[in-house]
Structure 1
Amino acid sequence: MDNVIRRQTPMARLLRALVYAALALAALFYLLPLAVMVLTSLKPLDEITAGTLLTLPENPTLAPWIKAWGEACTGMRCEGVGGYFWNSFAIVIPAVAISTLLGALNGYALTKWRFKGAELVFALMLFGCFIPFQVILLPMAQTLGWLGLSSSRAGLVLVHVIFGVAFTTLFFRNFYVSIPDELVSAAKLDGAGFFRIFRRILLPVSTPIIVVSVIWQFTQIWNDFLFGVAFSGHDTQPVTVALNNLVNTSTGVKEYNVDMAAAMIAALPTLVVYVLAGKYFVRGLTAGSVKG
């Protein structure tokens, strides 16, 4: 038996090396567009027209980044993407916080305070995850008009909360199913109410799924273009809409370095979130997979 294992060990090492090599090649292929964006954003325009996509900058410069942030034209306005960048944060932060809190409360109610029709309610909310966004553009626009929230940040926050709460409810419901019902029953016998049980028992153990919800919602809302272009005004547009307007502006010389710098600025928050918290996203998703 030992001889067989020794004969197989070199082959196993070779297969492992081949797997790692294939993964490394896949990673390089996947990261190639990002490398092109970064290199292009650091080049003067004359180097871009005279060189190739993958050549290193001979005279690296941050001028394209500075122009993309504060001077580039996004349609008729030449104020860069900086203001739109902060618009996105003003939309993302409250939308993520509200949808995560509502999802936690919904998941808690659907698992630990079961009521007649709870499964039907959950099924309907789950159905909401699969409704194409394009289907609701007109009725949502009418609703925002009735509420007086058209072309406002508050209106965009409301839209993202409505469409995000179905996903956050799904996350928290599947996570809370794995928490023993006996903990909640014991707390009820001690006289604890709905919100006290939620605050003292459920929330302290919810960190993994909160991280999942925050990463998911942050990414979805930050990268959204459809709702941003449909429901925002000139002063409330998110950075994705500004980036589209900048890239499609046809006046003057096409500045590819500025376009790439603006794209990197728009992508940086989601890149940072995934780099810093990506491993917690996977842990959170698997934390509630024992039951469900």
Structure 2
Amino acid sequence: MADLTGPRGPKPQKRLNGRTIMLWSVLAVVLIYYALPLYVMIITSLKGMPEIRTGKIFAPPVEITFEPWKKAAFSACTGLVCEGLSAGFLNSVKILIPSLIASIAVTSVTGYALANWKFKGSEVFFTILIFGAFIPYQVMIYPLVILLRELGLFGSISGLVLIHTIFAMPILTLLFRNYFTSLPDELFKAARVDGAGFWGIYFRIMVPMSLPIFMVAIILQITGIWNDFLFGVIYTKPEHYPMTVQLNNIVNAVQGVKEYNVNMAATLLTGLVPLTIYFASGKLFVRGIAAGAVKG
């Protein structure tokens, strides 16, 4: 038998107390709550319509088929056009990449300036930005429609990129400003003494030391822009609709038979990019937040 006594007496046995049991029970309930709908979506997307009509919603597919996925991607009807989500995917990519680059570039520089280069009225400007983070999007919809119309950008992808950049400014500027504030002030002062200017300090010191918060901002923007529906349906035309708007049109189509397997496959395809981002970089996101994203 194994010796349970050490040099200092018997080894303590691990026991489950009431608090541990309650914690694991809560975690199990939360896991089921979030995992069960995902499970139903996946198995439904792999079934044919005759099998779905049997009503066995939780039963795994008897015969797996990927035809619903193929139809959702390339031939499902979104109104008068039957091209599936493929066109919406390309539009979402065209919207995401410039919106991501523009919003990160603008807000990181703005946060850096507010943290390290104080100017007259900087605190007022920062207060206005923070106030903007709490304004409901619906309040700004019509004024922005007029603005884009006057700029000749309404209904275009460029106009939607501008919208995403504008609405990213309050929260991302706050994140960058707080992170830059948490960095050692001695580095900034030493660089100033050595003759480094605004852009020199930003590119040579701030950016290399701020990769965690850049990852946080990138993850937030990718998921937010990709999942956006409201701005996409308002500020673009049908030929420029992003993937989320195309998904809505597929699911809410009133013609023909309601194909639940195609709808589930289309939903999973639309959420594939943000889900991949979360799974691939979840640890980086948490690390970035813990490294000072909400300090200040």
Report the TM-score when normalising by structure 2: 0.93
Task: Note the C-alpha offset of 1:29.
Answer: 1.6
Match of 2:72 among 45, 53, 68: 68
Residue 156 of structure 2 is matched in structure 1 by 152
8 Å CA contact 1:178, 1:290 repeated in 2: no
Residue 93 of structure 2 is matched in structure 1 by 89
Task: Note the C-alpha offset of 1:172.
Answer: 0.4
Q: How many pairs were matched up? A: 288
Within a 5 Å distance, the mapping from 1:107-122 to structure 2 comes to 107-122=111-126
For residues 130 and 25 of structure 1, what CA distance do their matches in structure 2 show?
32
What residue identity is the alignment partner of 1:280? L
8 Å CA contact 1:177, 1:288 repeated in 2: no
1:140 aligns with 2:140: no
For residues 41 and 199 of structure 2, what CA distance do their matches in structure 1 show?
48
Task: Note the C-alpha offset of 1:20.
Answer: 2.5
For residues 180 and 240 of structure 1, what CA distance do their matches in structure 2 show?
42
The one-character-per-residue Cα deviations of 1:74-124 (angstroms, maximum 9, x if unpaired) are 111111011101111110111111111111101110111111221111111
- Say which SS state the counterpart of residue 15 (structure 2) adopts: helix
Match of 2:172 among 165, 168, 183: 168
Task: Note the C-alpha offset of 1:17.
Answer: 4.6
Report the TM-score when normalising by structure 1: 0.94
The one-character-per-residue Cα deviations of 1:200-257 (angstroms, maximum 9, x if unpaired) are 0000011110111011111111111111110111111001111111111111111000
For residues 58 and 116 of structure 2, what CA distance do their matches in structure 1 show?
56
1:283 aligns with 2:294: no
Task: Note the C-alpha offset of 1:137.
Answer: 1.1
What residue identity is the alignment partner of 1:243? L
Match of 1:34 among 32, 38, 48: 38
8 Å CA contact 2:175, 2:293 repeated in 1: no
Residue 211 of structure 1 is matched in structure 2 by 215
Residue 204 of structure 2 is matched in structure 1 by 200
For residues 162 and 282 of structure 1, what CA distance do their matches in structure 2 show?
25
- Say which SS state the counterpart of residue 182 (structure 2) adopts: coil
Task: Note the C-alpha offset of 1:289.
Answer: 5.8
For residues 84 and 295 of structure 2, what CA distance do their matches in structure 1 show?
49
8 Å CA contact 1:95, 1:158 repeated in 2: yes
Task: Note the C-alpha offset of 1:22.
Answer: 2.8
Task: Note the C-alpha offset of 1:175.
Answer: 0.5
For residues 89 and 130 of structure 1, what CA distance do their matches in structure 2 show?
28
8 Å CA contact 2:213, 2:293 repeated in 1: no
Residue 61 of structure 2 is matched in structure 1 by 57
Tell me, which stretches of 5 or more residues in structure 2 are unaligned?
1-7
Instruction: Calculate the aligned-residue CA RMSD, in Å.
Output: 1.8
Tell me, which stretches of 5 or more residues in structure 1 are unaligned?
none
Q: Percent identity?
A: 47
For residues 220 and 234 of structure 2, what CA distance do their matches in structure 1 show?
22
Residue 3 of structure 2 is matched in structure 1 by none
**Runs of 4+ displaced beyond 3 Å:** none
Hey, which of these two has a bigger chunk of helix by percent? 1
8 Å CA contact 2:176, 2:293 repeated in 1: no
- Say which SS state the counterpart of residue 177 (structure 1) adopts: helix
1:182 aligns with 2:186: yes
For residues 290 and 250 of structure 1, what CA distance do their matches in structure 2 show?
46
Q: 1:290 to 1:163 in 2, by over 3 A?
A: closer
Residue 271 of structure 1 is matched in structure 2 by 275
Task: Note the C-alpha offset of 1:285.
Answer: 1.3
Task: Note the C-alpha offset of 1:6.
Answer: 4.9
1:10 aligns with 2:15: yes
